[in-house]
Amino acid sequence: MRGKEGIPMTTYETARQILEEMDRGLSQVDEPEVEACLDEILEAHRIVAYGLGREGLVMRSFAMRLMHLGLDAAIVGDMTTPPVGPGDLFVVSCGPGYLSTVEALTGVARKASSRIVMLTAQPLAPLPQQADLC
C-alpha cells in the first residue's frame, strides 16, 4: 500500500491508518443511538437483517454473531428465514439512503408491524426517516 505521497507504507503504517479511519468514523456515532439500537435488538422476538454488496456481507456476519449470542436472527433471502411480524426487528443497512430493494423490504416489514432499524450514511434521506431508529 502506498501513502498520500506515493511512498510505500509498512504493514504497521497501513494498520495504523486503517485504525485512524475507523476511529474517525466511530467518533461520529451518537452513543445514545447505539444504546437505543442495542435495546431494540435485545427486546426483539426475532431479528431479520438485510444489506447489499459489502454491507450485505457485514449484515450476514452481524446476524451470525447474534445467533452465537443465542438470539433468533436470520438474513433476508436465506431459505430458512421466517417472515417478520409484531415484536420482530428488521435491521437493514443502506449506506446511500435509498435502494429500491430496501424500500420494498422496509415496506413489507412496516406492513407486518415489525420494528425497523436502518444503518445509513444518509440519515436525513426520506427512506431512513421512515425507520423506527436510524
In the chain (134 residues long), the average pLDDT of successive 10-residue segments reads: 63 89 87 94 98 95 97 96 97 95 97 97 93 94
**Count of domains in the chain?**
1
20 within some domain: no
What would the grid cell of residue 89 be?
A: 426487528
- Assigned domain for 29 exists: no
DSSP 40-106: HHHH-S-EEEE--HHHHHHHHHHHHHHHHTT--EEETTSTTPPPP-TT-EEEEE-TTS--HHHHHHH
What's the pTM value of the predicted model, to 2 decimals?
0.84
Q: Round to whole Å and give the CA distance between 81 and 83.
A: 7
CATH label of the domain that carries residue 71: 3.40.50.10490
Q: How far apart are CA 56 and CA 61, in angstroms?
A: 9
